[in-house]
Amino acid sequence: MKRIGIVTSGGDCSGMNAAIRSATRTALGMGVQVVGFRKGYLGVLKGDHLEMGSKEVAGILHRGGTFLQSARSDEFRTEAGREKAVRRIREIGVEGLVIIGGDGSLKGALALHRLGVPVIGIPASIDNDIPFTDMALGVDTALNNIIYAVDCIKDTASSHDRAFVIEVMGRNSGYLATMAAIATGAEYAIIPEVEVDLAELCNQLRHRYEEGRSNAIILMAEGAGKAENIAETIKDAIGFETRVTVLGHYQRGGAPSYFDRMIGSRLGNVAAKLLLAGERGKMVGLNCSEIVATPLESVVVSEKRQQDELFGLAAILGV
């Protein structure tokens, strides 16, 4: 291979830039040209790309998001769109791709692999819902963002004897809500994977109020419903005055943590090396500190193991 491409696709996250920079410099160091496609699969379909030397990826390691930008493309989800993408990739002379993104992006990567394009995927999603990796890119930074915000909210909550329902991201996943509940000492996590017992939630919060505690924090994953609705339902039963904060896309941005810079750099390096060594159709992930490659076929049909034990821990610590 003489020329490879890099794509960041789906929801952006902190650490993507570290992976782009590392894959680029690894390939350049092996004498291979690198192009970056702009705006995910949309850019691939349009052939919108830039030539990337070492200088093009300088100054991005500490920045959140992805300097290549990202997008979701409906056309790429169709068979005709994917065939068009393959034609564009070939026109540009790109012989293989490193694709950085979440579950939808990795499904796209597998589709390209099946159409004969050599690909290696890198898991990137703050939801941490991608199997065969302990952590995806962006998760650690997002959790640090959430912890910072919840600590701030707790200060003001304590000054007013208030309960806050704080909505965090996670369309189908309660990972962020569960982990942030443990790390912030929140009283309750409401997640899509477990049905919430509202009567028990109200009892627990009322008990806290009667004990004279000064605040209560409920962390709720967006996929478990609307924070406003929960707040409205519980507000007359818990004693505390109730407020809602939706953290939204704040969670996804910001300077990547040490951990995201490190795994971005390691995953980008191994992805480029594997691609150039002739590996195809795999995703690199972190398994107990080691970088391992798993066939995309297995990744897209598997579900990440639910964190029952950790949800239980959040419940024990929240009393």
Catalytic residue among 12, 103, 127, 260: 127
Q: Which span sits near ligand F6P by CB under 6 A: 33-41, 73-81, 125-133, 310-318?
A: 125-133
* Site membership for ligand F6P, residue 36 (CB under 6 A): no
Transcribe 215-277 into DSSP letters: EEEEEEEGGG--HHHHHHHHTTTSSSEEEEEE-GGGGG-SSPPHHHHHHHHHHHHHHHHHHHT
* Site membership for ligand F6P, residue 125 (CB under 6 A): yes
Rounded distance between C-alpha atoms, residue 283 and residue 132, angstroms = 8
* Site membership for ligand F6P, residue 87 (CB under 6 A): no
* Site membership for ligand F6P, residue 126 (CB under 6 A): yes
Residue 172 beta carbon to ligand F6P: minimum distance, rounded to whole angstroms: 8
Question: Among 87, 90, 171, 207, which residue interacts with ligand F6P (rule: CB under 6 A)?
Answer: 171
Residue 72 beta carbon to ligand F6P: minimum distance, rounded to whole angstroms: 7
Which residues, other chains included, contact 192 with Cβ-Cβ below 8 Å and sequence gap of 6+? 170, 172, 173, 174, 221, 223, 224
- Active-site residue flag, 127: yes
* Site membership for ligand F6P, residue 281 (CB under 6 A): no
* Site membership for ligand F6P, residue 102 (CB under 6 A): yes
Residue 81 beta carbon to ligand F6P: minimum distance, rounded to whole angstroms: 19
Q: Which is nearer to ligand F6P, 192 or 268 (CB)?
A: 192
Q: Which is nearer to ligand F6P, 14 or 17 (CB)?
A: 14
Residue 169 beta carbon to ligand F6P: minimum distance, rounded to whole angstroms: 3
Question: Among 24, 118, 127, 294, which residue interacts with ligand F6P (rule: CB under 6 A)?
Answer: 127
Q: Which span sits near ligand F6P by CB under 6 A: 92-100, 111-119, 163-171, 287-295?
A: 163-171
* CA distances in angstroms from 154 to 50, 231, 242, listed in the order given: 45, 16, 13
Judged by CB under 6 A, the number of residues near ligand F6P is 10
Residue 318 beta carbon to ligand F6P: minimum distance, rounded to whole angstroms: 22
Residues 196-235 within binding reach of ligand F6P (CB under 6 A): 222
* Site membership for ligand F6P, residue 40 (CB under 6 A): no
* Site membership for ligand F6P, residue 90 (CB under 6 A): no
* Site membership for ligand F6P, residue 248 (CB under 6 A): no
- Known catalytic residues? 127
Site of interaction with ligand F6P (CB under 6 A):
11, 102, 125-127, 169-171, 222, 252
